[in-house]
């Protein structure tokens, strides 16, 4: 409760204080001579001559000189010929293959060697 009461008192004090200051300020302004409130212009208007810039002629840039590029003649190149395929060798006559020598059949062992002695 006391917090609200203090807020009201503070607000009232602020309002009264502000009002008092504004009243004092108004009295001071009303007592002041009008020259202080609305000063008269004391400076005489200046004589100003308006100076314009002279016209500047447009800048013309001359075109660059025409230089023709030198003509370069290409060296003559030999005509391109496709590579020639290799010629096939002439066919050799077919010679019959010699038959491989057949091994001789094994000889039968002598009968005496096979028969035991009595």
Q: Would residue 90 count as lying in a domain?
A: no
Q: Would residue 64 count as lying in a domain?
A: no
Dist. CA 23–CA 17, nearest whole Å: 10
pLDDT value for 80: 82
Handedness of CA 69, 75, 79, 85 (dihedral sign): negative
pLDDT of residue 70 exceeding 80: yes
pLDDT value for 34: 67
Q: Would residue 26 count as lying in a domain?
A: yes
Q: Would residue 25 count as lying in a domain?
A: yes
Q: Would residue 1 count as lying in a domain?
A: yes
Q: Would residue 82 count as lying in a domain?
A: no
Dist. CA 101–CA 72, nearest whole Å: 78
Q: Would residue 3 count as lying in a domain?
A: yes
Higher pLDDT, 34 or 89: 89
Half-sphere exposure of 62 (CA within 13 A, CB side): 3
Count of domains for the chain: 1
Structural domain of 1: 1-32
pLDDT of residue 73 exceeding 80: yes
pLDDT value for 103: 73
Half-sphere exposure of 57 (CA within 13 A, CB side): 3
Q: Would residue 9 count as lying in a domain?
A: yes
């Amino acid at each position: 409760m006391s917090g609200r009461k203090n807020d009201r008192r503070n607000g009232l004090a602020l309002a009264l204080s502000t009002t008092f200051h504004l009243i004092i300020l108004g009295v001071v302004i009303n007592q002041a001579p009008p020259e202080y409130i609305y000063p008269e212009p004391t400076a005489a208007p200046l004589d100003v001559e308006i100076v314009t810039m002279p016209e500047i002629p447009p800048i013309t840039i001359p075109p660059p000189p025409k230089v023709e590029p030198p003509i370069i003649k290409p060296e003559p190149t030999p005509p391109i010929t496709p590579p020639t395929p290799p010629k096939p060798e002439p066919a050799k006559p077919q010679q019959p293959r010699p038959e491989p020598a057949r091994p001789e059949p094994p000889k039968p062992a002598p009968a005496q060697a096979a028969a035991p002695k009595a």
